[in-house]
A and B are shown apart, each in its own frame.
Chain A
Amino acid sequence: MENKQNPSIALILSWVMVGIPLVWGITQTFYKALALFK
C-alpha cells in the first residue's frame, strides 16, 4: 500500500492549527529573550 503525497487542504489546515499557537509562543519567548541583549 503506498502513500499519496499530494498536498491537501486538510494538511494545510492541520499545520496551521498547531503552527499558530506554536509561533505565538515562540514569539512571546523571543521578545522576552531580547531583554538579555539590551
Chain B
Amino acid sequence: MALLSFLDREHSIARPDYNRWLFPPAALAVHMCIGQAYGLSVFNIPLSKLLPVVEGQPNDNWPLTTTVWIFNIAFFVLGLSAAFFGKWVEKNGPRKTMFTSACFFATGFMISALGVHLHNIWLLYLGYGVFGGIALGLGYISPVSTLIKWFPDRPGMATGMAIMGFGGGAMIGSPLASNLMDYFGNKVQSAGVVMTLVTMGALYFCMMMFGVFAARVPAPDWKPEGWTPPAAGTNKMMTSANVDADTAIKTPQFWLLWAILCLNVTAGIGVLSQASPMIQEMFSEASKGVGKGITPAAAAGFVGLLSLFNLVGRFFWSSFSDYTGRKVIYMIYLGLGTLLYALIPTAGQMGNAGVFVGIFCIILSMYGAGFATIPAYLRDMFGTMQVGAIHGRLLTAWSTAAIVGPTLLTELRESQIASGKAAGLSDSLAKASAYNTTMYIMASLLVVGFICNLMVKPVDEKFHFKG
C-alpha cells in the first residue's frame, strides 16, 4: 500500500517551482476520456447486430430500447456518485480521485467487453453503466476544486477549460470507436466490438494516468504571482467566507442554482438529442419544396456543428464570466436563450436554414457554458473549501435533466404530430410544425431559470463555516 501513498493529497502538494498551467492538461486528460460517454451512441448499431439473423428464427439481437439503458444508467450513476463521493474527493484530493476514476472506467470497459463476448446485456449495464457511471462522477468533479484553487483570479476560465474537455470527449471517442471497430471487426462483428472496448479501456486508462501523475494541489498559502485576493465585502456576489457541503444544501442559493442548471440542461439536452430528425422534419422536401430539404448527411453535419459550438461555448462564455460576474452571465444564457428558442419557429417558417442553424449554434454554446460556469458560481456563493463536493451534489440536476429533457421533447413531439394530423395536416407538414410548441415550452423553462437566477443573493452569514 506504501506504493500507492503517492496518491495521497499530502504527497501531491506542488513544489514552489510548479507551474500552475500544468494542472489544466491533467484535468483535460481526465475529462476528455470520461467525455467519451457522450459518444456512446456510436455502439448502438453494432450492438444491435452482434448475432447472425437466420430467416425463420427469432432475432435475439438487442434493440435500441435495450442498449439505450447503458447510457441512461451511466448518467444516473454519474449524478449519484458525484453527490455521494464529493466529500471523499475533497478529503483525498485530485490525484487519488483521478486514479480511482481511471480504474473504474477501465474496469467498466473490460466488463462490457465480456458482456458483448457472452452476449449478456446485464454485464454491459454493470460495466459501462455502473462502473463507468462511478468513473464519470468521480472524474468529473476530481479537478474542479483544485482548478479553482490554482486559478483564484480566473476560476471561470479554469473550470471552462476542463469541462470543455468533457465536450471534446465525444468528438474523440466516436471516431476512435468507429475506426477501431472497422479495424478489428472486418471478419466477425462481435469480435470487433469486444476488441474495441478492450483497446479503448486500455487507452483511456493510460491517458487518465497521465492526469494522475501530472496533478498537483497548491500549498495552502499559495497565490498567483502579483494577485491579491479582493478585500472582503468589495463584491457581495463573491464571498470570502466558506460554506461546507452539508450546510450548502440547506441554503436557498444551492437549490436555485440546482434549478437553473436543471432547466438549462433540460432545454439543451432535449434539442441535442433530437437535432438530426428535427432539422430534417422542419426543412423536409415536402414542406420546403423539391431540392430544398435537408438531407440525412447534412443533418449529421448539423449535429457535428452543434457539438463544436457546445465545446467552444464552454471555454468562451465561462472565461467571459470572470469579467461580467456569474449572475450577469447566467442572465445572458437564460435571457438570450429564451429569445432564441422563441425565434426558432419563425426561422423554420421563413425557410431560412442559415438563420435556423445560427440560432441553434448560439443556444448550444450557452448550453455547454451552463455546465462550465456553474463551478465558479458555486465558488462565488460558497467559497473554495468544499466547492468540489457541493458541485458533486449539484450534478444530480444534470442526471434529472438527462432523463427529463429527451423524454419531454419526444412526448411533446408525438402529441403535436397527432394534433396536427387531427387538424387535417399531411404527415410531413404535421412533423414540420410539431416542434413549434415544444420550442415555446423550452423557452418558458428558461424564463423560470431566469427568474431563479434573479433570486440568487449572497448566502446568509449564519450558514458560513466557523471552523
Contact = CB atoms under 8 A, between A and B. Distances in A.
B225 A33 contact: no
Interface in B191-228: 207, 210, 214, 219, 221-225
B32 A21 contact: yes
B18 interface: yes
Interface in A1-38: 1-8, 10-11, 14-15, 17-18, 21-22, 24-26, 28-30, 32-38
Contacts of B300: 32, 35
B175 A36 contact: no
Given A29-B304, A36-B302, A36-B357, A4 B171 contact: no
Given A32-B300, A32-B301, A1 B165 contact: no
Contacts of B174: 28
Contacts of A4: 16-19
Contacts of A10: 19, 22
Q: Which of A7, A22, A37 has the most CB of B within 10 A?
A: A22
Interface stretch (B305-313, B364-372, B380-388, B453-461): B305-313
Given A29-B304, A32-B301, A3 B225 contact: yes
B172 interface: yes
Contacts, number: 100
A21 B388 CA distance: 27
Secondary structure dominating the interface of A? helix
A28 B22 contact: no
A38 B304 CA distance: 14
Contacts of A6: 19
Secondary structure dominating the interface of B? helix
A38 B84 CA distance: 48
A36 B298 contact: yes
A6 to B, nearest CB: 7
Contact of A3 (B171, B175, B222): B222
B277 interface: no
Contacts of A17: 25, 29, 210
Contacts of B259: none
B19 A26 contact: no
A3 B172 CA distance: 33
Contacts of A35: 297-298, 300-301, 304
Contacts of B19: 3-8, 10-11
Interface in B147-175: 165, 168-175
A7 B299 CA distance: 43
A18 B29 contact: yes
A25 B22 contact: no
Contacts of B223: 1-2
B222 A25 contact: no
A10 B350 CA distance: 53
Given A17-B25, A26-B311, A34-B301, A2 B165 contact: no
Contact of A29 (B171, B225, B299): B171
A21 B25 CA distance: 12
Interface string B12-23: 000011111110
B272 interface: no
A20 to B, nearest CB: 10
B308 A33 contact: yes
Given A3-B224, A25-B172, A28-B171, 4 more contacts: A6-B19, A7-B19, A29-B304, A35-B298
A-B complex: 4 closest residue pairs judged by Cβ atoms: A36-B301, A25-B171, A35-B301, A25-B172
28 contacts: A1-B223, A2-B16, A2-B222, A2-B223, A3-B222, A3-B225, A5-B19, A8-B19, A10-B22, A11-B19, A14-B22, A14-B25, A14-B214, A22-B171, A22-B172, A25-B170, A25-B172, A25-B175, A26-B308, A28-B175, A32-B301, A32-B303, A33-B308, A35-B300, A35-B304, A36-B299, A36-B301, A36-B357
